[in-house]
Amino acid sequence: MTRLFNDPAAFADEALEGFAAAHRGWVRPVTGGVVRAAGTPAGQVAVVVGGGSGHYPAFSGLVGRGLAHGAAVGNVFASPSAQQIRSVARSADGGAGVLLMYGNYAGDVLHFGQAAERLAGDGIEARTFAVTDDISSAAPEESAKRRGIAGDLPVFKAAAAAAEEGLPLDEVLRVAEHANARTRSFGIAFSGCTLPGADHPLFTVPEARMAVGLGIHGEPGIGEESLPTADEAARLMVAALLRELPEGVDTPAGQRAAVILNGLGSVKYEELFVVYRKVAALLGDAGVDIVDPEVGELVTSFDMAGVSLTLTWLDDRLEQLWRAPADTPAYRKGSPLAQEPAAEAARYVEEIDDTRVPDATEESRGSATHVLAALNALADTVDSHADELGRIDAVAGDGDHGIGMQRGTTAALEAAVRAHDLGAGAGTVLVHAGDAWADKAGGTSGALWGTILRSLGTRLGDQDAPTATTVARGVSDASDAVRRLGGAEVGDKTMVDVLVPFADTLAEAAGEGLPLTESWQRAAVTAEKAAAATADLLPRKGRARPHAEKSLGTPDAGAHSLALITRAVHGVLPDHPLDQH
Ligand SMILES: Nc1ncnc2c1ncn2[C@@H]1O[C@H](COP(=O)(O)OP(=O)(O)O)[C@@H](O)[C@H]1O
Ligand SMILES: O=C(COP(=O)(O)O)[C@@H](O)CO
């Protein structure tokens, strides 16, 4: 249970503010996260890590010498937005490029990827790297699909130590790849976390049972067993990791390994030590030489009761990087590093410029009023279904779909009202709304909905009043853009299963000459049926994929919210002037 909070929606920002105030010697707040107080030494590659809040000390607590140069911090369990990441990276850049590092989650992959592209546009070389250490989240032959959990730390640290040595960007990236290829984790849990403001945990484990193979967002495990003793828990985790040795490690005997026994939130340190006692003995029996073990909370999930074990199989180079000193708020190692004087670098502030809008015709400004009504209806329906969306998402995802959509629609509506007040046309109102959604919500749905509104707005433009045909084309553009960005196709159990038939039906009806309201009505019915039909699908993309069978019988959260939105928007579409062809 998270007991101490103010407005749940402000939790992540307030936590970051307090963290920065408590660690002024190490970090400096910038828009989107924190960077080292002393800045990045000139000519050094900057390692910028990041992810959602709720995982402290990941990610802000890992900023400091020998580790990250900056951290982009998203909302609770949602990736930071591309805009936040770009801002942190620009502040951290020391002139030698930036390596963006994160766990392998759909939202992180989308936003860090977009940030890298924008940084290239700013003239800053950037590379991305997603950590994939959790062996329970995909089979070995699909290891690139695995998510990142406590293995974040050794992989971030290896790359950052290489950057500290002055290596160039592509070599730092190669170190990250090498460390990741030799890092494996496995976790168990006894109860789920409760997000700030929620009145029930994301998941529960029956009394005297244990979930096996879970992640760091309360995703359900891949199996369930009787509650183990501490020694049995150690045996289970060690056995799982020794069964899957990385390439180049034929047998554990004679190997060296960095070992992390990670507490996920409410397992006490003494309990961890009891488990570690057996972990160390078992690894010793297997002939593994343990190097600088860590026992404690390194990547958490609020108050989740669980532990994970991580092994990084060391060679000489990785051992040198693992042993290198570090000095961050949450992770210190080796002899104290001389304090660097804090640089008074300019605090880089990157905000969307929403104070100016392009010229628009009277007609388009009139249509912008209808766009506002549609965004209002969208926000209302998301608000009234937020709990339901969270519940659906919790079945096989991380339970934050309702919260994320609320954050996005609220920001979108505010931006739309501002643009409208400045005299924007329909297209610009949608583009501003989309950018604000992506920036403020982060997460997978933030990136995708930002793209949807931006695509639609770009097609509508600010000159002519939208017609059924232009709206249908805009929705088709949005559907293509979402597929391009997220890489999902129909049948993968995502919002694409609704967006594609919705766009196709709308185009078909508009092509038959039906007015917009009728075309939309036909497409909304298709969307509702398509959303319901996702209940029978097995997920192949996104967070739900590792728990495929658990989601059978439940529709996809993003598909369901899209269908709700198409229905709500239909209710406010005008008969005129949008009905003209
Ligand atoms: N690759 C993808 N392409 C399109 N939609 C996706 C993709 N991955 C996930 N989704 C959609 O995103 C929804 C989850 O959104 P959100 O709650 O923001 O996710 P997360 O918490 O994983 O960032 C899913 O229900 C699904 O509809
Ligand atoms: O969950 C996180 C980010 O992934 P999403 O796909 O946006 O949910 C975050 O907590 C870990 O980075």
Q: HEC string of 332-358?
A: EECCCCCCCCCCCCCCCCCCCCCCCCC
Find the 513 Cα to ligand 2 centroid distance in Å: 43
Find the 343 Cα to ligand 1 centroid distance in Å: 40
Amino acid at 23: H
Q: Which two tokens stand for residue 298?
A: 């390194």
3-state secondary structure of 53: strand
Q: Average of pLDDT values for 119-140?
A: 96
> How crowded is the C-beta side of 327, counted as CA atoms within 13 Å?
15
Instruction: Indicate if ligand 2 lies below 6 Å from the C-beta of 398.
Output: yes
- Main-chain dihedrals φ then ψ at residue 203, nearest 5 degrees: -155, 160
Q: Average of pLDDT values for 315-333?
A: 97
pLDDT over 70, % of the chain = 94
Instruction: Indicate if ligand 2 lies below 6 Å from the C-beta of 105.
Output: yes
Q: Average of pLDDT values for 160-174?
A: 98
For residues 43 and 50, what is the distance between their CA atoms, to the nearest angstrom?
A: 22
Neighbours of 231 (CB within 10 A): 15
> How crowded is the C-beta side of 63, counted as CA atoms within 13 Å?
35
Q: Strands 326-327, 332-333: parallel, antiparallel or unpaired by DSSP? A: antiparallel
Amino acid at 424: A
Q: Which two tokens stand for residue 392?
A: 């659906």
pLDDT band of residue 579 (cuts 50, 70, 90) is: very low
Three-point CA angle 565, 566, 569, nearest 5°? 80
Neighbours of 529 (CB within 10 A): 12
pLDDT band of residue 8 (cuts 50, 70, 90) is: confident
The predicted pLDDT at position 580 comes to 46
pLDDT band of residue 348 (cuts 50, 70, 90) is: low
The bound ligand whose nearest atom lies closest to the alpha carbon of 103 is: 2
Per-residue pLDDT reduced to its tens digit, 402-455: 989 999 999 999 999 999 999 999 999 999 999 999 998 889 999 999 999 999
pLDDT band of residue 204 (cuts 50, 70, 90) is: confident
**Catalytic status, residue 581:** no
Length of the chain: 581
Helix (H) or strand (E) holding 185: strand 183-191
pLDDT band of residue 379 (cuts 50, 70, 90) is: very high
- Main-chain dihedrals φ then ψ at residue 268, nearest 5 degrees: -75, 155
Residue among 538, 512, 509 at smallest CA distance from 525: 509
> How crowded is the C-beta side of 172, counted as CA atoms within 13 Å?
31
The bound ligand whose nearest atom lies closest to the alpha carbon of 442 is: 2
Find the 105 Cα to ligand 2 centroid distance in Å: 6
Alpha helices in 186-336 (DSSP H): 230-243, 269-285, 316-323
| pLDDT at residue 532 is higher than 90 | yes
Q: Average of pLDDT values for 377-387?
A: 95
Catalytic residue among 217, 370, 401, 560: 217
Inter-CA distances, 314 with 176, 331, 502, 535, Å? 13, 20, 51, 44
Among protein residues, the one whose CA lies closest to atom 5 of ligand 2:
107
Find the 399 Cα to ligand 1 centroid distance in Å: 11
Quote the distance between the C-alpha of residue 419 and its chain's center: 28
Find the 335 Cα to ligand 1 centroid distance in Å: 44
Q: Which two tokens stand for residue 128?
A: 């991305």
For residues 284 and 258, what is the distance between their CA atoms, to the nearest angstrom?
A: 13
Buried b (16+ CB within 10 A) or exposed e, 453-466: bbbbbbbbbbebbb
Instruction: Indicate if ligand 2 lies below 6 Å from the C-beta of 213.
Output: no
For residues 342 and 344, what is the distance between their CA atoms, to the nearest angstrom?
A: 6
Beta bridge partners of 294: 260
Q: Which two tokens stand for residue 521?
A: 């009505």
Which residues form the pocket of ligand 1, taking CB atoms under 6 Å from any ligand atom? Answer: 78, 106-107, 393, 397-398, 400-401, 404, 443-445, 448, 482, 486-488, 494-496, 541-543, 556-559
The predicted pLDDT at position 238 comes to 98
Q: Which of 494, 496, 561 for a ligand 1 pocket mutation test, highest count of atoms within 8 Å of Cβ?
A: 494
Among protein residues, the one whose CA lies closest to atom 2 of ligand 1:
486
The predicted pLDDT at position 210 comes to 86
The larger pLDDT score, comparing residue 442 to residue 239, is at 239
